[in-house]
Structures are given as structure tokens and as C-alpha cells.
Amino acid sequence: MAGRCHVILIGPQGSGKGTQATRIAAPLGLVHVATGDLFRQLMTRDDPLAREVRSYYDRGELVPDDVTLRVLLERLDELERELPSYRGALLDGYPRNRAQAEALDRVLRDRNDTIAAVVHLAVPRAVLIERLSGRLICPQCGATYHRTFAPPRVEGQCDQCGAPLVQRSDDTPEAIARRLDTYEQHTAPLLEYYRERGLVIDIDGNRPIDEVTRTIVSALEPVLADPSRCRSS
């Protein structure tokens, strides 16, 4: 029996990945599953898995791959119970490297699930740095702005509460460049892994948001409707 049909969304910080995930999931019958959100939700709980994850956070250590995969599988199990007719998950933030991808393949095979496609949002590096280095946040209420794309009404001042806006220390061009270097180092082999199986759909993310959304949906609709792609091998 065919299982769920999942889609992976890959893109660097600043590519619009989170924005597009929230826009395309429902129209495609998918549920957006972001590992970052899962960890934040986990921090509000008090159970064995939450305590294990919190122990790594408390020590300033990265959560091991196998624990991250358990967190993801727990969410997929919840979706099976809560939404028995859902098509599949739109995975955002996992996998991040080839080893994680291979582990994910193994557990999905056991569930009789499959990966239908991997959407790769491609944006030039210079554009990513411009997008990210222009971000401003309000330390008082958390509102976010951008110097170029979404500036406040009064320069340097929050529209919501009037507090002075600040730039995060990791949003300087130098810090952003280091993060992008790390992303490219791990993501290149990950994309190659999926390209070998013909799963990658490259999307030009350097366009208006609505145009990018339409392109992704148009590319995924026939894939998700194809029985040869949406079944476990």
C-alpha cells in the first residue's frame, strides 16, 4: 500500500524558504513541518524526548542527528493520527546534509512513505547578503523590518512601539557570508544526492514572492499527481 508523499524544501537563509513553505503547503495538500518550529514547541513540554533535547541546548551542544530524526518522526506520527487523509509533509529544515538524507530515506522506507520531490530555491549570493544584512528588529516588541524592502515609517524607529531598531549581531555581511559558506559546504552534496535520483526541482528565488509561489505550485502539482512518483519503492 502506498504511503505518504513528502516534499523537501531546500534553500539558504534569505531565499524566502519559510515564506514559500507557508504559501504552498495547503494548496498542495501538504502539511508544513519545520524542524526549527518543532524544537521550539518541544521546549515547552516536559517529557523524556523534550528533556533529552533540552539537555543538549543547556550544554550548548548541537542536537545529534538521530535525536532530530526522532523529533521529526514524532511529528509525522502525530499527523497520521490527527489528519489520516493528509497527502504528506513539506519538510523545511531537514535534512541538512547527506548523512541525514540517507537516514531519512531509511525510516521513510520503513513507513512505506516516499520523497516525491526536492524543491531547491536558488538565489544569488549577493542578493542573499543584501536581504539578510538589511534586516532590522525591534528589541521591545519583536517586529521585523528591512532597510530596502520593508522599511519603518520613521527611519530607525519601530512602527508598533516606537523603540529604536537594531541589527542582530549575526546579520552583518561578514557573519552572513560565514553562514552561507557553511550552508554551501553541506548542501552541495545533499543536492547531488537527490539529483542522482532525479528529484530536484530548481526554482529561481530571485523574483517577486507571488511569482515564485506560482512557479513552485505549478512544478509540484503534476509530480504529486503522478502515481509513479508518489509511492514507496
Q: Which positions are annotated as active-site residues?
A: 17, 96, 135, 168, 179
Neighbours of 140 (CB within 10 A): 14
CA-to-CA distance for 8 and 147, rounded, in angstroms?
Answer: 31
95 preceded by a cis bond (ω within 30 of 0): yes
Instruction: Give the bridge partners for 136, in sequence order.
Output: 145
Long-range contacts of 194-199 (CB under 8 A, 24+ apart): 194/8, 194/101, 194/115, 194/118, 199/115, 199/116, 199/117, 199/118
